[in-house]
Amino acid sequence: MQFIDKNQTLYITNRKILLNSIYNKQYSPYFFTIFANKKSKTNIMDKIKHKFISVTYKLYIDNEGKENLEEETPEGKPLQFYSGFGMVLNAFEQKLLNSEGGSNYDISLTPAEGYGEYIPERVVKLSRDVFMDENGKFDSKHIYLDTIIPLQNEDGNHFLGQVKNIGDTHLTIDLNHPLAGKTLHFIGKVLENREANEEEIQNLLNKLNSHHCGNCGGNCGEHECGGNCGGCH
């Protein structure tokens, strides 16, 4: 994990990114969110009725008037999540909350509902020295054009940036979400939508607290929130 001086960093405090979406796009859609608030069993079970929702999806992004497929759930690996935990974008969750299993859906999210507008000021220059390996050489194995890298400032805030340019002395890093400024168009099918039971929620909380995983605390690297998850952080 690299560090950025906080004076150089325009840290996006409300960024909603599942960390492993950057490393394994096949399994982890960008629209997932970091699980930010680990709540107690009492608070959750007493006040909120959580649902278990399983869906397939294809995500389309407009590109100069033409929609292009950005990503989709792999065959046999639906997106599974529990409502009320910030596992997916809130607007996406709310639009699916009252859906029925077996139904199809077609959802569009504005930039405000997704990852916000693109902000040019969040493109920063960082010293090449920040990205040296243990041998004092530039870490070209992990740092290359267009890759998205984990970063951390001196206050311990974690965030992600995309490498836009590698110069002789500095790198240009874009701290905007890759889908900032984009309308997100999801088309898919609801496989299951039911009320989660108390045992499921408690198991979820136990995994989150023990593994610090982004969504559901199982085996990081997958995006199935019933047993596996995406995004250790």
Token pair, residue 233, equals 């952080």
20-29, 33-42, 104-113, 198-207: least confident range: 20-29
Domains 3-7+119-174 and 17-116+181-229 alike in fold? no
Tokens of 174: 């874009």
Query: Helix, strand or coil for residue 161?
Result: strand
Q: Which of these ranges, 23-37, 77-91, 100-114, 198-212, has the smallest mean pLDDT?
A: 23-37
pLDDT in tens, 25-48: 332 333 433 333 334 444 544 467
Structure tokens belonging to residue 39 = 């709540």
Q: Can you count the helices (H) and strands (E) in the chain? A: 3, 12
Per-residue pLDDT, 211 = 53
User: Do 84 and 216 touch, CB atoms closer than 8 A?
Assistant: no
- Out of 60-69, 137-146, 153-162, which region has the weakest mean confidence (pLDDT)? 153-162
Sequence-ordered list of residues with C-beta below 8 angstroms from that of 48, at least 6 positions apart, any chain:
84
Average of per-residue pLDDT across 150-161? 84
Task: Quote the mean pLDDT of the chain.
Answer: 75
User: Where is average pLDDT lowest: 30-44, 66-80, 140-154, 208-222?
Assistant: 30-44
Q: Stretch 73-81: mean pLDDT, rounded? A: 94
Question: Quick count: other Cβ atoms within 10 Å of Cβ 127?
Answer: 13
The model's pTM is 0.67
| Fold of the domain spanning 17-116+181-229 | Chitinase A; domain 3 (3.10.50)
Check residue 120 and report its DSSP letter.
G
**Does the pLDDT value for residue 191 go beyond 80?**
yes
Q: What ranges do the domains of the chain cover? A: 3-7+119-174, 17-116+181-229
Tell me the pLDDT tens digit for each residue of 82-93.
998 888 999 999
CATH architecture assigned to 3-7+119-174: Beta Barrel (2.40)
